[in-house]
A and B are shown apart, each in its own frame.
Chain A
Amino acid sequence: MKPASFAYHRAASVDEAVALLSREGEDAKVIAGGQSLVPLMAFRLARPSALVDIGRIAELRYVSRDGDVLRIGALATHRDVEINREPGVLEGYGILPRAARFIGHYPIRTRGTFGGSIAHADPTSEWCMLALLLDAEVAVAGPNGIRAIAARDFFGGLFTTALAADEVVTEVRFPAPAPNAAIHEFARRQGDFAVVAASAALELDDGRVRSARIALAGVGDAPVRAAEAEAALAGTDVGFEAFAEAGRAAAEPLNPPSDIHGSSAYRRDLAAALVRRALAEAAGIDG
């Protein structure tokens, strides 16, 4: 399983990467950790004419805190997020290092990057789902400079994002901490892509839900927010039944894909259970 030939260029800076992409044209692709792209190239499902390697742009590799805002550089590896212990950086954002452990395995997490996952937009991606859950913003550099795209506008169809062919993700920004948040996922083996993943972030007020955010992955072409379920939870008391109802409400409108790992109906069933479990964990109750 050898890839088709391609031209290789290493970019020393974001500007150079953008210029190379513009020059090489639409069939060029960015490569960083390569954990998603290289397998596709091995099967010749992806046949870029050129690769622009941004993996050595050190300025893009960081996990930092700016007040409430968590800023993750595009080249932060999954492992960087998983093991970051710098005081204060991930405070209130604990869901991210917990989610990192679902991403492949340890040697994949040392190479794979946060920005790479966002740009690749696999429908089961944990980072894409959490970006949507927590209303993150994706910073993108192109020939006309840098623009910020809200997560809800970034993910579109299958493996499709708002990224243009000559643009590079530089950073993902999370605007506010979510200390009452949880992720639950079902995969066939440890390290596998999720069949379905669910995440929840709650604002709690003395045993009541002030507001809820619920996001799912693996249930469509891109991650989704469960708007109806979120609305129905606002103002309710924390409790197993309310969360079970929210799970059902989150699953009901879904039309998930069917494949050898699960039918559409099975994925819907999983969605309901995983949403309930995520809500319960986020609220700190048994679920």
Chain B
Amino acid sequence: MTQRHRIAIAVNGTTHDVEVESRRTLVDVLRHDLGYTGTHVGCEQGVCGACTVLLDGEPVRACLVFGVQADGAQVQTVEGLGDQEHLSPLQETFSSAHALQCGFCTPGFLMLVTAFLRDHPSPSDAEIREAVASNLCRCTGYQNILRAVRTAADATASGDGSAGEPS
């Protein structure tokens, strides 16, 4: 019964052709078939959000999408935000705010927050907390993640495109 399907997925702008089993989740396709190991697996049941990527621009849990469902789609992962020498403003802000410790949940938060700030350019603190509550973190107690998102939102609002320094 194992069916294999040929799919084409664009990841951070690069199109990949790959053959996968129908049951292969998008996160496993990204990590193991295509080598984008920046996205992580935390629960495989859609609760923790560590696997969050953008699928055709929308934040989704990649463990709840089968790869075959993403055929022809545009996917953005953490690797597309920036690299070590040129971190994006959001990534810089996370570092300045100490919004990561072990870093395992971090890519999921970065993708979640990227979509959230795009859709909510002037969020209230309550809206930020509600959005950040989408994903689990076990190390930071969320304090600095909230601070980082607040800073990033304020920096974007002030239009200077800079990373912003957390207060």
Contacts and interface: CB of A to CB of B under 8 A. Distances in A.
Q: Do chains A and B touch in the complex (CB under 8 A)?
A: yes
B61 A106 contact: no
Contacts of A7: 1, 3, 22
Contacts of A287: none
Nearest to B72: A56
Contacts of B115: 106-107
B89 to A, nearest CB: 21
Interface in A35-57: 35, 38-39, 41-43, 49, 51, 53, 55
A3 interface: yes
A53 B67 CA distance: 12
A5 B2 CA distance: 6
Given A4-B23, A5-B1, A35 B46 contact: yes
Contact of B134 (A34, A49, A55, A191): A191
Contact of A107 (B22, B44, B60, B69): B60
Contacts of A5: 1-3, 21-23
B73 to A, nearest CB: 10
Nearest to A110: B58
Contacts, number: 91
Nearest to A55: B69
Interface in A3-21: 3-8, 10
B153 to A, nearest CB: 15
Contacts of B130: 101, 106, 190
For A1, A3, A4, A38, which residue has the most chain B Cβ atoms within 10 angstroms?
Answer: A38
Contact of A34 (B21, B66, B112): B66
B164 interface: no
Prevailing SS type, chain B contact patch:
mixed
Interface in B112-151: 112, 115-116, 130-131, 133-135
Interface residues of A, number: 31
Contact of B46 (A2, A38, A106, A110): A38
Interface range on chain B: under 10, 10 to 19, 20 to 34, or 35 or more? 20 to 34
Contacts of B18: none
A108 interface: yes
B1 A107 contact: no
A61 to B, nearest CB: 13
B107 interface: no
A152 interface: no
A210 interface: no
A4 B3 CA distance: 12
Interface string B49-65: 10010000011110111
Interface string A179-195: 00000000001110000
Interface of B: 1-3, 5, 21-23, 25, 44-46, 49, 52, 58-61, 63-66, 68-69, 112, 115-116, 130-131, 133-135
Given A6-B23, A38-B46, A111-B60, 16 more contacts: A5-B1, A8-B5, A8-B22, A8-B66, A34-B65, A34-B69, A35-B64, A41-B23, A49-B1, A53-B68, A53-B69, A105-B133, A105-B135, A107-B60, A111-B61, A190-B133
| 10 A-B pairs with least C-beta separation | A105-B134, A8-B22, A110-B58, A39-B45, A107-B59, A1-B44, A38-B64, A3-B23, A190-B133, A5-B2
